[in-house]
Copies of this chain bind each other. A is one copy, B any other.
Amino acid sequence: MKLYTYFRSSAAYRVRIALNLKGLDYEAVPVHLLKDGGEQLSASYRKINPSALVPALQDERGTLTQSMAILEYLEETHPDVPLMPPDPLGRARVRELCQIVACDIHPLNNLRVLRYLVHTFGISEEAKTEWYRHWVSDGLAALEAHLARDPGAADFCHGETPTLADCFLVPQVFNAQRFNIDLAPYPNVARINANCTQLPAFAHAHPSQQPDAE
């Protein structure tokens, strides 16, 4: 398998964690999001992903994009290390947590969005940081409230082993920490993140451990 990735991309980080948890070998193909105006915008990369975003995963069946779709696909095609609970309600909970990160937090703080705010609206660096922190704090509060009310949350987002939800949580917490967001108001998030980051599968997926890390 080939993973088109960028070391600091939160969505690529999710897929790297899942691949590691499942013990799947892959070739990392770096796509530099900042160099030459963004390699993801090139005609050659758009042939791989017309959305001009990372990650993309290629295997013998085809090319897949969108981290959630890729993770569900890996779960279906490599079920040996399950990253989803066996019951429909449990799976719904896991997907709910994934989507809180994927839909309600991350899209607002994506590179292309921050660029629009700066280049088109002309907002200051300070206002940009405030925007970033606002959506992360808001989203982590939602994640915390969902985790706090659910008896399924334990050492990990759902139960005693990692699921897809943890693959989403950890990269989002990494982003929050880059922006100095205090995790104290989110004790469930902080505990689960600490449990995850001790595992080699998560540690090896960390941005700093990637071949294209700067």
Contacts and interface: CB of A to CB of B under 8 A. Distances in A.
A96 B108 CA distance: 19
Interface residues of A, number: 48
Contacts of A100: 51, 66
A103 interface: yes
A62 B93 CA distance: 10
A27 interface: no
A76 B88 contact: yes
A123 B121 CA distance: 8
A121 B130 CA distance: 11
Interface in A92-107: 92-93, 95-96, 98-100, 102-104, 106-107
A39 interface: no
A191 interface: no
Q: Which 8 A-B pairs rank lowest in CB-CB distance, beginning with the nearest?
A: A50-B145, A69-B95, A66-B99, A73-B92, A107-B107, A51-B142, A69-B96, A76-B88
21 contacts: A50-B146, A51-B145, A51-B146, A66-B99, A68-B103, A69-B92, A69-B96, A69-B98, A70-B92, A72-B92, A73-B92, A76-B91, A99-B102, A102-B103, A103-B106, A103-B107, A108-B108, A116-B134, A120-B127, A121-B121, A121-B123
